[in-house]
Chains A and B, each alone.
Chain A
Amino acid sequence: MKILVCMKQVPQKDAPLKLNEGGTWIREDVSYEVNEPDAYALEEALRQKEKHGGEVVVITAGPARAQQVLREGLAKGADRAIHLDDNAFVGMDAMNISKAFVAAIKDDKFDLIFTGLQSDDYGYAQTGVIMAELLGWPHATIIMEIQKSDGGIKVKRELESGFFQHVGMPLPAVLTIQSGINKLRYATLLGIKQAKNKPLRKVTLDEVKSSLSDNMQKVEKLYIPQKSKKTEMLEGSPAEVAKKLVEKLRNEVRVI
């Protein structure tokens, strides 16, 4: 099986975030890490390869710093990497990122494309699904388990309230992987050393530009929730005050 894993670099979970000047996104000077569900997607791809043979390719879009996630992927066992290398990818919506990925892999023939369920920064959960639509492939989301079957795969999806759904589908297909589906491996020292010699193809913005469109989605304003304190005195007889209080708790604070 030939599997593509889309990996995104996101701000570290406990990194203190500061807004950029325009208030449209965060400042770049934070520590980054691999988007958590993507790490599980990579692990699952490596396990599938260990079981069925094939190739695992990791892909990311972003500035030079984003290459770190590809290096990590290669160190853990991916065979090669593709880096869509440009600052401009940072502000793109999921539609354009998907178009860029599809354009970048047009000469490859993958059996499966994995993404994480969603990214820990924007949280759109769209890239995998849009890629499937662009490619005309079937897709399934929130995957907990993948098994090869005759002519395709069987997957287990996580639904709400502890329910699961089993779906069969032909290949090629796109799956978005849930965190916790497997146990992550650590990069070995040997893996890190070998990663240096694995192929990493850089794709420029120009190479995929003709496939892109205007962003259909844009972050207008980002702000840190304002904490404010306001004291309101309820006046009247005890019965009236009680009535007003219940009303407020029910309609404004919505706790009862």
Chain B
Amino acid sequence: MELHSQLKAAVGELCRGFPDAYWRELDARRAYPSEFVETLTKAGYMATLIPEEYGGAGLGLTEAAIILEEIHRSGGNAAACHAQMYIMGTLLRHGSAEQKKQYLPKIASGELRLQAFAVSEPTTGSDTTKLKTLATRKGDRYVVKGQKIWISRAEHSDLMLLLARTTPVEQVKKRTEGLSTMLVDIRKSLGHGLTIHPIRTMVNHATTEVFFDDLEVPVENLVGEEGQGFRYLLDGLNAERILIASECIGDGRWFVDRACRYAKERVVFGRPIGQNQGVQFPLARAYANVEAASLMVAHAARLFDSHQPCGAQANMAKLLAADASWEAANAAIQTHGGFGFAEEYDVERKFRETRLYQVAPISTNLILAYLAEHVLGLPRSY
């Protein structure tokens, strides 16, 4: 526990060096927070989950969640780099000894950035197993053809983990088979079959569209066994969901904080607006929901760290936290009245940012569909 308060204080101090104005200015230019990411990396926070033998801190998801929550709690946005923390999990769990030795120490030091994970495709969406990007084995290489969309941070990453079909769907018994994960060396591949186009979105998220035109990937870049990629994807998702949920908790606390501060100061009709129940009740409710969601996030992280099944809890954590932060965002912008729309109050920026988590990395409906089917035993709906 002492480590946790220590961690929170230290990350908080680091974030004070990157105040609202820093994020606001980047947002206006849709620019990448290089200086923030570099500072965080140098201080070792991106290597939280990497075991000590590979140069990381060897800590758990609980600690990683504290770090990400604190970044969001202080008004920043960890989306620019959070994936550097967890994408390596696939390599760690399923990579060969040589791959781990080759990559993990460099990922831990930040020398190698592995923070792009290419799953989503334009025509198949949430129906992941239908993805069409094909990697065909030719001698000692795969030749990759296809297209991915919403691949975040690809322009700020050295390696990309790719999920592609290695056996055509008509040749497998189950659709979940025949998918594989492999590492693409972005630096070597650009201009040799790999093209990356940035997509401008309503948030400053450095997301891109990625095209594979007969890109050659050496066979030794395959992570784990050929055809088992979907299984590897699934067991990495819990970590991602819990960590993104922790960011939502940070956002939620930031919204409640800022809104309460404003509600105490803003005087209309001769009294602070926060004295009106119509203003304070939504904030009180948002607060309660954020606190409740944070318990589920902590619970899921604890299960994950003690190697217990946590699929349902990780999904619920993501659902509840994303809903709580979105509700808090709404209450905060309403509390600020017209000023909530002004860039210099940062509420509209955080409002846009936290909205994303209703859709990515998994949309709310798909979590509900998962819970209905796998936890409640209802017929599969999708």
Interface residues of A (CB under 8 A from B): 68, 71-72, 75, 186-190, 192-193, 195-196
* A75–B10 touching, CB < 8 Å: yes
Q: Count CB-based A-B contacts (< 8 Å).
A: 45
Taking a contact as CB atoms closer than 8 A, the residue among A68, A72, A186, A192 that contacts B3 in the complex is: A192
Is residue B47 within 8 Å, beta carbon to beta carbon, of the partner chain? Answer: yes
* B43–A68 touching, CB < 8 Å: no
Contact A193-B10, Cβ < 8 Å, known A186-B39, A186-B43, A187-B43: no
| List of B residues within 8 angstroms of A195 by Cβ | 6
Q: Which residue of B lies closest to A187 (CB)?
A: B10
**Given A68-B9, A188-B42, A193-B3, 16 further pairs, Cβ under 8 A:** A71-B2, A71-B6, A72-B9, A72-B10, A72-B13, A75-B6, A75-B10, A186-B17, A187-B14, A189-B43, A192-B3, A192-B6, A192-B7, A193-B57, A196-B2, A196-B3
Query: Smallest CB–CB gap between B20 and chain A, Å?
Result: 13
Can you name 21 A-B residue pairings with CB atoms under 8 Å?
Answer: A68-B6, A71-B6, A72-B9, A72-B13, A75-B10, A186-B10, A186-B17, A186-B39, A187-B6, A187-B10, A188-B42, A188-B44, A189-B7, A189-B44, A189-B47, A189-B57, A192-B3, A192-B6, A192-B7, A193-B3, A193-B59
Query: Smallest CB–CB gap between B108 and chain A, Å?
Result: 10
| List of A residues within 8 angstroms of B43 by Cβ | 186-189
> How far apart are the CA atoms of A196 and B57 in the complex, in Å?
14
> How far apart are the CA atoms of A186 and B44 in the complex, in Å?
10
Taking a contact as CB atoms closer than 8 A, the residue among A186, A190, A193, A196 that contacts B14 in the complex is: A186
Give per-residue flags for B39-73: 1 if the beta carbon is below 8 A from chain A beta carbons, else 0.
Answer: 10011110110000000010100000000000000
| List of A residues within 8 angstroms of B6 by Cβ | 68, 71-72, 75, 187, 192, 195
Query: Smallest CB–CB gap between B16 and chain A, Å?
Result: 10
> How far apart are the CA atoms of A25 and B341 in the complex, in Å?
40
> How far apart are the CA atoms of A188 and B40 in the complex, in Å?
9
Query: Smallest CB–CB gap between A8 and chain B, Å?
Result: 16
Taking a contact as CB atoms closer than 8 A, the residue among B13, B17, B47 that contacts A187 in the complex is: B13
| List of A residues within 8 angstroms of B59 by Cβ | 189, 193
| List of A residues within 8 angstroms of B171 by Cβ | none
| List of B residues within 8 angstroms of A192 by Cβ | 3, 6-7, 10
| List of B residues within 8 angstroms of A71 by Cβ | 2, 6
> How far apart are the CA atoms of A193 and B3 in the complex, in Å?
7
Give the interface size class of chain B: 10 to 19
Is residue B276 within 8 Å, beta carbon to beta carbon, of the partner chain? Answer: no
Most B CB within 10 A of own CB, among A68, A75, A186, A196? A186
Is residue B306 within 8 Å, beta carbon to beta carbon, of the partner chain? Answer: no
Contact A189-B3, Cβ < 8 Å, known A68-B9, A72-B10: no
Give per-residue flags for B1-41: 1 if the beta carbon is below 8 A from chain A beta carbons, else 0.
Answer: 01101110110011001000000000000000000000100
> How far apart are the CA atoms of A186 and B59 in the complex, in Å?
19
Query: Smallest CB–CB gap between A124 and chain B, Å?
Result: 25
> How far apart are the CA atoms of A196 and B4 in the complex, in Å?
11
Query: Smallest CB–CB gap between B56 and chain A, Å?
Result: 9
| List of B residues within 8 angstroms of A186 by Cβ | 10, 13-14, 17, 39, 43
Query: Smallest CB–CB gap between B171 and chain A, Å?
Result: 46
> How far apart are the CA atoms of A188 and B39 in the complex, in Å?
10
> How far apart are the CA atoms of A195 and B10 in the complex, in Å?
12
Most B CB within 10 A of own CB, among A68, A190, A192, A195? A192
| List of A residues within 8 angstroms of B47 by Cβ | 189
| List of A residues within 8 angstroms of B5 by Cβ | 68
Taking a contact as CB atoms closer than 8 A, the residue among B2, B9, B17, B44 that contacts A190 in the complex is: B44
> How far apart are the CA atoms of A72 and B44 in the complex, in Å?
16
> How far apart are the CA atoms of A71 and B6 in the complex, in Å?
7
Query: Smallest CB–CB gap between B47 and chain A, Å?
Result: 7
Query: Smallest CB–CB gap between B57 and chain A, Å?
Result: 5
Q: Which residue of B lies closest to A185 (CB)?
A: B43
> How far apart are the CA atoms of A255 and B378 in the complex, in Å?
79
> How far apart are the CA atoms of A196 and B43 in the complex, in Å?
17
What 10 A-B pairs have minimum CB-CB distances, sorted nearest first? A189-B44, A187-B10, A188-B43, A186-B14, A188-B44, A189-B57, A186-B43, A192-B6, A190-B44, A189-B45
Most A CB within 10 A of own CB, among B10, B42, B45? B10
Q: Which residue of A lies closest to B5 (CB)?
A: A68
Query: Smallest CB–CB gap between A143 and chain B, Å?
Result: 23
Q: Which residue of A lies closest to B48 (CB)?
A: A189
> How far apart are the CA atoms of A71 and B13 in the complex, in Å?
14
Query: Smallest CB–CB gap between B243 and chain A, Å?
Result: 16
Query: Smallest CB–CB gap between A37 and chain B, Å?
Result: 16
| List of B residues within 8 angstroms of A72 by Cβ | 6, 9-10, 13
Query: Smallest CB–CB gap between B332 and chain A, Å?
Result: 19
| List of A residues within 8 angstroms of B17 by Cβ | 186
> How far apart are the CA atoms of A209 and B45 in the complex, in Å?
43
| List of A residues within 8 angstroms of B57 by Cβ | 189-190, 193
| List of B residues within 8 angstroms of A187 by Cβ | 6, 10, 13-14, 43
Q: Which residue of A lies closest to B13 (CB)?
A: A186
Query: Smallest CB–CB gap between A169 and chain B, Å?
Result: 33
Q: Which residue of A lies closest to B7 (CB)?
A: A192
| List of B residues within 8 angstroms of A196 by Cβ | 2-3
Query: Smallest CB–CB gap between A31 and chain B, Å?
Result: 10
Query: Smallest CB–CB gap between B315 and chain A, Å?
Result: 28
Query: Smallest CB–CB gap between A236 and chain B, Å?
Result: 37
| List of B residues within 8 angstroms of A190 by Cβ | 44, 57
| List of A residues within 8 angstroms of B9 by Cβ | 68, 72
Give per-residue flags for B223-255: 1 if the beta carbon is below 8 A from chain A beta carbons, else 0.
Answer: 000000000000000000000000000000000
